[in-house]
């Protein structure tokens, strides 16, 4: 490391950055500094301005005011190409990969100075060299659709390293990884840090902050409220800084006392969009007053499972019963009328209508009957009353109930969906990654609400990649791998390492993939 680096100078400085959207001040005069060879954790509630700030640094947004310095020089970042030229790259939570192209093709896609007829063999050698150097094992000739989610994340990181990125921005980097893959990512980040590269990562997981970062910066409502060396703080203090109050890390719950069977699947099979098997002989049951958790890395049949149960996808064989009535092949509306609520995986495409108001999105399940309608006519005043109540209960950050959902942050869109589905639940709540993208305060509220549903006698199917969430919230855990149930166990006393191995397709005590 040269003298400039040792002197404590900053690799990146963002000074007085402000950015607003209709009705929302996303960033309000934010100062951010990133040192050479440093990992900075960026914390904050949903809508605090974290993603906006990083989207400005990566060139996706232009700031309304403020200045950016890289390596001590004032720079203008007008787009992602400008950011890449400055050595800045971002791995988004939703990966930017082309499924039908190979790893090699994805890595070089968009590079301007590539030869008209590129030497693909030479490019592959470069990818393999980086892969070995950083222990990011991938097959250069594999198609993206053939890779696990963890492998796809490695491709995203390799894309940045191949372009000589010195500043990596990681958005919720372990949200879709097994515990073992999260540990591997930690090693990769530390290797890059040892070479003088720097990283900023957005996260809501306190254990990530403590293990990954050197320094942490907390945002609240578009402003910086704290900046600390990680070694000088702890998860409880950081949580309080984020939400402005004490956050409970333990959930109170009544003893497990299940009632009658609410949902039962018997040997259910289904196919994905490509016609390939997505579910293979899935059988389980959930009883009243029970939370059954589905553990597994994204892409192992969880989405298809939720869609088959809710009527959005047809089962190719097997049976599904709700309250002892056969609902196999029934329409989504028939299943909704049976008392089933669904928090979907894709909140933008399936869960909400962006051009409709927050109030109307909240009313979408109950608009057919009183009190939201009467004699076939909607009652706008009642819809607004319900919306205001839900906005308050779920702490949805929105300028007004009439604001269009597409102008909210991703976390607040998720809260809008949660409010609607939990409010309308009667028998069974299917929650697919309900706390993904939510801050620690909102996550606590969601978990409390799931337990409240359980204690009111409803059945809950919770699909999550967060093993801590499953262990603390659920009564029973079923682990999925490649559309099959690898094992079902009581949540009390469940071993996180064992669950992680099952999520990777490995039976504990064996070396072979199941």
Domain end call among 185, 212, 243: 243
Q: Check whether 407 has a pLDDT greater than 50.
A: yes
pLDDT of residue 96: 83
d(CA 82, CA 210): 32
Domain extent, residue 156, equals 3-243
CB within 8 Å of 153: residues ≥ 6 apart: 91, 95, 173, 176, 177, 181, 185
The residue-averaged pLDDT of 385-402 equals: 90
pLDDT tens for each residue of 31-76: 999 999 999 999 887 778 888 999 999 999 999 999 999 999 999 9
CATH number of the domain where residue 223 is located: 3.40.50.300
In a domain, 488, yes or no: yes
Q: Check whether 3 has a pLDDT greater than 50.
A: no
Among left, alpha and beta (phi > 0; psi -120 to 50; other), residue 287 is beta
Task: Quickly state the pLDDT bin for 512 (edges 50, 70, 90).
Answer: very low
d(CA 509, CA 435): 32
Of the candidates 34, 37, 32, 5, which has an alpha carbon nearest to the alpha carbon of residue 17? 32
| Inter-residue contact 506 to 514 (CB < 8 Å) | yes
Q: Taking all residues of the chain, what is their mean pLDDT, rounded to a whole number? A: 87
Same domain, 124 and 269: no
In a domain, 350, yes or no: no
DSSP state of 144: G
Question: Which run of H or E residues covers position 413?
Answer: helix 410-424
Question: Which run of H or E residues covers position 13?
Answer: strand 10-21
In a domain, 344, yes or no: no
More confident residue, 147 or 285: 285
Q: Which of 82-86, 137-141, 275-279, 494-498 has the lowest mean pLDDT?
A: 494-498
Q: Of 16-20, 48-52, 500-504, which one has max mean pLDDT?
A: 16-20
CB within 8 Å of 512: residues ≥ 6 apart: 506
d(CA 432, CA 485): 17
d(CA 68, CA 159): 24
Same domain, 190 and 232: yes
Q: Check whether 84 has a pLDDT greater than 60.
A: yes
Same domain, 109 and 10: yes
More confident residue, 245 or 415: 415
Percent helix, strand, coil in the chain, to 5, is 35, 25, 40
More confident residue, 25 or 281: 281
- The whole-model pTM stands at 0.66
pLDDT tens for each residue of 265-296: 999 999 987 788 999 999 999 999 999 999 98
Same domain, 288 and 317: yes
DSSP state of 349: I
Domain end call among 192, 214, 243: 243
Same domain, 119 and 154: yes
pLDDT tens for each residue of 331-360: 999 999 999 999 987 777 788 998 999 999
DSSP state of 254: P
Same domain, 211 and 74: yes
pLDDT tens for each residue of 410-453: 778 888 998 999 888 899 999 998 887 677 777 888 888 899 99
| Inter-residue contact 459 to 289 (CB < 8 Å) | yes
Question: Which run of H or E residues covers position 291?
Answer: strand 291-295
In a domain, 67, yes or no: yes
């Amino acid at each position: 490391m040269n003298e400039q680096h040792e002197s404590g100078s900053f690799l990146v400085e963002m000074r007085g950055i402000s950015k607003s959207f209709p009705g929302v001040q996303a960033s309000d005069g934010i100062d951010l500094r990133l040192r050479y060879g440093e990992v900075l954790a960026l914390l904050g509630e949903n809508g605090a301005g974290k993603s906006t700030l990083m989207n400005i640094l990566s060139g996706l947004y232009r700031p309304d005011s403020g200045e950016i310095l890289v390596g001590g020089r004032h720079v203008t970042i007008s787009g992602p190409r400008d950011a890449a030229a400055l050595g800045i790259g971002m791995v988004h939570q939703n990966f930017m990969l082309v499924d039908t192209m190979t790893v090699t093709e994805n890595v070089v896609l968009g590079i301007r100075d590539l030869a008209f007829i590129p030497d693909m063999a030479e490019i592959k050698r470069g990818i393999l060299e980086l892969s070995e150097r950083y222990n990011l094992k991938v097959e250069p000739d594999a198609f993206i659709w053939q890779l696990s989610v963890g492998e796809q994340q490695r491709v995203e990181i390799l894309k940045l390293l191949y372009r000589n990125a010195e500043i990596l921005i990681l958005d919720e980097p372990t949200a879709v990884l097994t515990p073992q893959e999260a540990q591997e990512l930690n090693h990769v980040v530390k290797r890059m840090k040892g070479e003088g590269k720097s990283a900023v990562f957005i996260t809501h997981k306190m254990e990530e902050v403590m293990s990954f970062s050197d320094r942490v910066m907390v945002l609240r409502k578009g402003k910086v409220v704290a900046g600390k060396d990680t070694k000088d703080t702890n998860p409880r203090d950081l949580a309080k800084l984020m939400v402005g109050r004490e956050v409970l890390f333990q959930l109170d719950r009544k003893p497990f006392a299940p009632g009658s069977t609410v949902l039962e699947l018997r040997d259910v099979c289904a196919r994905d969009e490509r016609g390939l098997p997505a579910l293979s002989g899935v059988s389980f049951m959930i009883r009243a007053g029970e939370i059954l958790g589905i553990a597994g890395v994204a892409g192992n049949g969880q989405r298809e499972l939720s869609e088959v149960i809710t009527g959005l996808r047809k089962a190719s064989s097997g049976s599904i019963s709700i309250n002892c009535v056969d609902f196999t092949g029934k329409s989504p509306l028939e299943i909704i009328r049976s008392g089933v609520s669904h928090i979907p995986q894709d909140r933008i495409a399936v869960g909400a209508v962006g051009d409709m108001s927050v109030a109307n999105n909240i009313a979408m399940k109950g608009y057919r009957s009183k009190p939201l309608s009467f004699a076939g006519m909607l009652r706008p005043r009642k819809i607004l009353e319900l919306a205001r109540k839900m906005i308050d209960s779920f702490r949805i950050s929105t300028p007004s109930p009439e604001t269009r959902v597409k102008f909210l942050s991703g976390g607040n869109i998720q809260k809008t969906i949660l409010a609607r589905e939990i409010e309308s639940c009667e028998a069974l709540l299917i929650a697919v990654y309900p706390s993904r993208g939510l801050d620690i305060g909102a996550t606590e509220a969601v978990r409390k609400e799931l337990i409240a549903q359980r204690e009111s006698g409803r059945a809950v199917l919770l699909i999550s990649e967060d093993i801590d969430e499953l262990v603390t919230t659920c009564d029973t855990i079923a682990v999925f791998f490649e559309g099959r149930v690898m094992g079902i166990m009581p949540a009390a006393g469940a071993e996180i390492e064992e669950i992680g191995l099952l999520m990777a397709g490995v039976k504990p005590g064996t070396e072979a993939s199941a």
